[in-house]
């Protein structure tokens, strides 16, 4: 649920990066954090285990400038990808305005991608969202690795809605901002429509 403050003229929206464990959700946020002008982003918070696996969430607030005199702020969250953290994932999806599903392109991870994508749909429904209507972007990450699925295979596996999709290498930043821009556009268009 976005928050619009007419007094301070601000629009706040929540975007969640979802996907299987080790697909690169945190790496996306880390790259955005490193590359954005410090004046346009806040601190990045990572609630992680000692081995740097996301335990609860990562959080990065970013400002994208003004539209019609309103400052736009986006709160980027990641979920913990590991299967057994499902209760945490459900909590983080509360109030979400848009989802980036980050898939791991490696052939060996196709089952994990599908399992996570199905889990996303279940958890969205539990929070009262329609998984077929919520603003969503797909990101096929780790395109620099040799044994990866083709774009058409990933499309066939995950993109039944035909939402915007991007190839990425989050470690080097390929596709990271393209993904972010696409989800921000979809969220703002959806906000205009005023539906959940």
Partner 1 sequence: MNPGHFILYEKEYNEIQSVLMKLLADSYAKVVFLVDKNGSLLSSAGETGNFDTTSLASLAAGNIAATGGLASLIGEKEFSILFHEGERDNMHISVVDNRLILVVIFDRRSSIGLVRLRVRRADEFLERILRSIDEAAQKEEEGEGVIEELTEADIETLFK
User: Site residues (CB under 8 A) for partner 1?
Assistant: 1-8, 11-12, 14, 42-43, 45, 47, 56-57, 59, 61, 64-65, 67-70, 72, 75, 87-88, 90-92, 94-95, 181, 184-185, 188-196
* CA within 13 Å, CB half, 117: 23
At its nearest, how many Å lie between partner 1 and the CB of residue 28? 17
Q: Which is nearer to partner 1, 143 or 181 (CB)?
A: 181
At its nearest, how many Å lie between partner 1 and the CB of residue 76? 10
For the chain, report the end-to-end CA distance as a whole number of angstroms. Answer: 8
Q: Which is nearer to partner 1, 145 or 189 (CB)?
A: 189
At its nearest, how many Å lie between partner 1 and the CB of residue 10? 9
At its nearest, how many Å lie between partner 1 and the CB of residue 149? 30
Q: Could you tell me if 131 and 137 are in contact, meaning their C-beta atoms sit under 8 angstroms apart?
A: no
Q: Which is nearer to partner 1, 36 or 151 (CB)?
A: 36
Q: How far is CA 57 from CA 91, 108, 121, in A?
A: 10, 25, 19
Taking alpha carbons only, the member of 155, 131, 171 closest to residue 35 is 171
Q: Which is nearer to partner 1, 114 or 163 (CB)?
A: 163
Q: Which residues of 130-159 are buried (b: 16+ CB within 10 A; e: fewer)?
A: ebeebbbbbbbbbbeeeebbeeeebeebbb
d(CA 154, CA 110): 8
Q: Which is nearer to partner 1, 66 or 145 (CB)?
A: 66
Residue 180: CB atoms within 10 Å: 25
At its nearest, how many Å lie between partner 1 and the CB of residue 8? 7
Judged by DSSP in three states, 33 sits in helix
At its nearest, how many Å lie between partner 1 and the CB of residue 106? 30
Q: Which is nearer to partner 1, 3 or 160 (CB)?
A: 3
Structure tokens at 93: 């999806």
């Amino acid at each position: 649920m976005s928050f619009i403050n007419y007094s301070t003229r601000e629009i706040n929206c929540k975007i969640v990066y979802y996907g299987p464990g080790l697909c690169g959700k945190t790496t996306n946020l880390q790259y955005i954090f490193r590359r954005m002008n410090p004046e346009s982003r806040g601190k990045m918070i990572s609630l992680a285990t000692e081995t740097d696996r996301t335990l609860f969430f990562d959080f990065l607030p970013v400002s994208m400038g003004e539209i019609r005199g309103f400052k736009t702020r986006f709160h980027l969250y990641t979920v913990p990808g590991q299967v057994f953290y499902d209760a945490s994932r459900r909590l983080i999806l509360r109030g979400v305005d848009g989802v980036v599903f980050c898939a791991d392109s490696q052939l060996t991870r196709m089952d994990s991608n599908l399992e996570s994508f199905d889990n996303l749909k279940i958890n969205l429904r539990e929070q009262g969202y329609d998984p077929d209507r919520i603003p969503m972007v797909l990101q096929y990450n780790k395109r620099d690795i040799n044994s990866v699925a083709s774009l058409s295979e990933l499309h066939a596996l995950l993109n039944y809605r035909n939402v915007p999709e991007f190839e990425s290498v989050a470690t080097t930043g390929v596709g990271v901002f393209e993904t972010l821009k696409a989800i921000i556009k979809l969220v703002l268009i959806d906000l205009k429509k005023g539906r959940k």
